[in-house]
Amino acid sequence: MELSAIQAVGAIGAPERKAETAAGAEPPDFAKWLEQQVQVADREIRTADREVQKLAVGESDNLHQVMLSLERARLSLDLIVQVRNRLLEAYQDIQRMQV
């Protein structure tokens, strides 16, 4: 699954980082957080994929582990997809503003 398109969204958070560091406080790094979430989602998806493979070849010890790993993968992917959608909406709002 191509996650690079979503990863590019992380760059949008960069200008905020510069502005907040100027104030001297320790800023919550949105871009870094988003990158981490992408890594998490990638990991969860790979795990879920492996679990399904094990189920197919008869190596799965319990069914709920497979189903839960699929749910975790869906949730972590859902998170970054939702964030991406909101960011895109915000970006489009900004584009429409009269300067």
Partner 1 sequence: MVTGLDSITTQLTTAALDALLLRHRVIASNIANQGVEGYQPLRVDFEKHLEPVRQALAAGRTDEQLRGLLQEAKAATEITPAPGDGIVRLDEEMAELARNTLHYQALLTALGKLGALKRLAITGSQS
- Per CB under 8 A, residues contacting partner 1 are 1-3, 45-46, 48-49, 51-59, 63, 66-67, 70-71, 73-74, 77-78, 81, 84-85
E-strand ranges in 1-97 read: none
Tell me the closest approach of the beta carbon of residue 33 to partner 1, in angstroms: 19
Tell me the closest approach of the beta carbon of residue 45 to partner 1, in angstroms: 6
Does residue 41 contact residue 76 with C-beta atoms inside 8 Å?
Answer: yes
Q: Pick left, alpha or beta for residue 29 (phi over 0 → left; psi -120 to 50 → alpha; otherwise beta).
A: beta
Choose between 71 and 91: whose C-beta lies nearer to partner 1. Answer: 71
Nearest to 81 by CA among 41, 33, 36, 29: 41
Tell me the closest approach of the beta carbon of residue 39 to partner 1, in angstroms: 14
Choose between 29 and 49: whose C-beta lies nearer to partner 1. Answer: 49
